[in-house]
A and B are shown apart, each in its own frame.
Chain A
Amino acid sequence: MSTGQNRIRESEHEDVSLGVDALDYDYTNFYFGSGEDAFALLEPFKAWWDQVHPRGYYQYELPLHSAPATTVDVEDTKTHEVRRGLINFASYNYLGLSYRDEVKAAIKEAVDVYGGGSSGSPILSGTTDLHRRLSKQLAEFKGKEAAMIFPTGYSANVGVIAGLMRSGDLIVADQFAHASIVDGMILSKAKSRFFRHNKPADLDRKLRGFDGKKLVIVEGVYSMDGDVAVLPEIMEVARAHNARVLIDEAHSTFVFGDNGRGVAEHFGLDDEVDIHIGTFSKSLGGQGGFVAGTQALIDYLRGFSRSRFFSCALAPTVVAGISKALELASNEPELRTQLWKNVDFMQARLREAGVDVAESESQVIPIMVRNDAKVFDIGEQLLREGVFINPVKYPAVGKHKSRFRMSISAAHSRDELDRGAQIIIDVLKSNEII
């Protein structure tokens, strides 16, 4: 019998530096490493990256040569060709607003008045009348006393959580909470706990016995699985422990609720939830984030959300586009109706073909592959067959939970949905996934 070391050297894809097949490794192997040199991980990471990039990781950060519409032109960095007219299931443009003529016209108009950037922090010189108008629009749309804009959705979560909670407080978040929530928790220095995904009983356990300030954090729609927070049960537990509740509706604003306010409205809990976070980059097709709540909450956060006042304010052109997109989304509820028709069609089309879409209840549909070794090969085939969709694998999701994350838009035509679904089904069949 050979030793382990010898067996390693017999590996098909042997690499001198790593010793085993490079695709057996992932980002987590290069995150930590003890030793004395701060650059100690750079060399092994490069050795790994040089091998795995052409074998699949190239599928991330593929440059688009067009707007994020329902079909896109994408540069295949492996073959160095631009693949044109791919059916786009990768972009967040849930209502198809980012490239609407009205939005583009508003942006062009703002350029003539305000130029390119805002040239300042929002608390100094970066706030324009456009920013003020958008804040008011947001508060009215969410039915709250006030709202405040952040330069990104990430900074909204970080700024709100770290702006409100302190060392000695307790924050309990769903285990599938977005990285921006986790980073906000870290930055706050509060005691942090995570409850099992959508399990109120575990939330109850994590809150029990703590007497200080408490904040519970959930998302409306979870971005990797497309499932919805069990908000009524979570609210019940949170209230039993006198905990405040923050909901991040990044993927659910303009999708759920009679007025599109999100999952909180969907469950009739809009006034019960204490802090409402949203983004402009999903349904509105722009960029940035916001928080909405009471005037007192917003006034306090204005003074303590460091991620906002130590960042440059959103460019006025971006704000003008978001403002117009918000107006369109509010005035055209038929966009939401069409989105749900498309979601229902695609969910049914995939499920009928035997595709595993997990517990998705929304426009975020995970196409479960559950085969970490094959997901990149399948991604490459989909790209070549005419579908642009992002692979997701460990550590972004658990081991053997690899998938493609499909985003459905109201703008997708029935033909695009049908053709895209058929390509996906055919490729999954050819790889014996279904």
Chain B
Amino acid sequence: MVITRYGFENCVGAFFEMATSDARAILPAHLEPLEAMHTRSVLAVLAFQFTESEVGEYDELVMAIITPPRVEPGKPLPKAAFYPFMVATSTEASREHAIERWHLPHYMADLDFDFAENDGKMKVTVSESDQPIVELTVSEHDFNPTVNPYHCFTIEGDDRFKVNIFMNAPHSEHDEEEGELILHPHSMTEMLTLDEVSSYPMREEWYRAGVQTFEEMETI
């Protein structure tokens, strides 16, 4: 099996309530949104500082809908499953790589990323031409060494794919609602009804320096 590895300095992410009607409109027909509460699905916003990859260093923002994982007898059960519907990066090479290899939908411009760590919090600001698009703040909890498996679903035309992803790094997660998300009107966020996305997270995650490992993509 061909394994693809990405070394990162930080990966911060958080889960936010969003309208299930938006989630269903975004997801392909074969995927269902996972509801945290009745009619409230889950928007995952993740930001990576990649330091080592086939395409060098780059920063990345992923917006995804959380879906049920695909259960396969005898295989590790993932912690969660995602359908990324918008990915933005800081370099053209990283976009070309991810589109070609993983069929991830991208915003096709180099964006500016600012990772500001202060007093146990990381604030990530993603901007274009000095106009902020996404402002994500995540707070830390205790860090423990972890290897967390995830499923990532993508599509290309009528073809459906799944890739197993492992996050191998010191990991912190909590539900203290200390973080924040500000989404600005922009073509990257136009698929979301912004008033329906909660500004406070139901879950905050932080991976310190570690490795993200992708197995080979499977057609499902």
Q: Does B bind A?
A: yes
Interface residues of A (CB under 8 A from B): 1, 3-5, 7-8, 11, 16-20, 25, 29-30, 32-35, 40-41, 43-44, 48, 175, 182, 185-186, 191-192, 194, 196, 394, 398-401
A40 to B28, CA, bound (A): 22
For B30, the chain A residues whose CB sits under 8 A away are 34
Are A399 and B175 within 8 A (Cβ)?
Answer: yes
In the assembled complex, how far is the CB of residue B6 from the closest CB belonging to chain A, in whole angstroms?
11
7 cross-chain pairs, A with B, having the tightest CB-CB distances, nearest first: A4-B166, A19-B76, A398-B175, A32-B68, A33-B71, A4-B213, A40-B71
- Given A4-B147, A20-B149, A400-B141 in contact, is the A34-B70 Cβ separation under 8 Å? yes
Contact A34 B76 (CB under 8 A): no
Closest to A5 in B: B166
Residues of A within 8 A of B81 (CB): 34
Are A399 and B76 interface neighbours, CB within 8 A? no
B39 sits at the interface (CB 8 A): yes
Type the 1/0 row for B31-57, where 1 means its CB is closer than 8 Å to any CB of A: 110100111100000000000000000
Query: Which residues of the other chain, B, contact A185 by a CB distance below 8 angstroms?
Result: 38
Interchain CB contact under 8 A, B166 and A34: no
Take A35-B71, A194-B37, A399-B203 as given contacts and tell me if A8 and B77 are in contact as well, using a CB distance cutoff of 8 Å.
Answer: no
Known contacts A1-B211, A4-B147; A20 and B38 CB within 8 A of each other: no
- Complex interface residues of chain B between 1 and 42 (CB less than 8 A to chain A): 3, 5, 30-32, 34, 37-40
Q: Does B77 contact A399, Cβ atoms closer than 8 Å? A: no
- Tell me the minimal C-beta distance from B171 to chain A in angstroms: 10
Give complex CA distance A33, B37 in Å.
17
* B141–A4 touching, CB < 8 Å: no
B69 and A33 within 8 A (CB): yes
Bound complex: CA of A231 vs CA of B74, how far in Å? 51
* C-alpha gap A30/B81 in the complex (Å): 13
Q: Which residues of B contact A30 (CB under 8 A)?
A: 77
Q: Tell me the count of chain B residues lying within 8 A, CB to CB, of chain A.
A: 41
For A208, the closest partner residue in chain B by CB is B195
A1 to B147, CA, bound (A): 13
A8 touches B175 (CB 8 A): no
The 22 listed contacts between A and B (C-beta, < 8 Å) are A1-B211, A3-B3, A4-B147, A4-B168, A7-B166, A8-B76, A8-B166, A18-B76, A19-B75, A19-B76, A20-B147, A20-B148, A33-B70, A34-B31, A34-B67, A34-B68, A34-B69, A192-B37, A194-B37, A399-B175, A400-B174, A401-B175
B38 touching A192 by the CB < 8 A rule?
yes
What distance in Å separates the Cβ of A36 from its nearest Cβ neighbour in chain B? 10
| A398 with B39: CB separation less than 8 A | no
A19 CB, min distance to chain B CBs, angstroms: 3
Task: Assess whether A35 is in contact with B40, with CB atoms less than 8 Å apart.
Answer: no
CB distance from A369 to the nearest CB of B (A): 14
What residues on B are CB-neighbors of A33 within 8 Å?
68-71
Q: A20-B76, A32-B67, A191-B39 are in contact. List 5 more A-B contacts (CB 8 A).
A: A34-B31, A44-B71, A182-B37, A192-B39, A398-B175
State whether the Cβ of B176 lies closer than 8 Å to any Cβ in chain A: yes
Distance in Å: Cβ of A428 to nearest Cβ of chain B: 18
Shortest CB–CB separation between residue B198 and chain A, in angstroms? Answer: 9
How many Å from the CB of A219 to the closest CB on chain B? 16
> Complex Cα distance A192/B21, Å?
13
**Residue B60 at the A interface, CB < 8 A?**
no
Q: In this assembly, does B133 line the interface, its C-beta being within 8 Å of a C-beta of chain A?
A: no
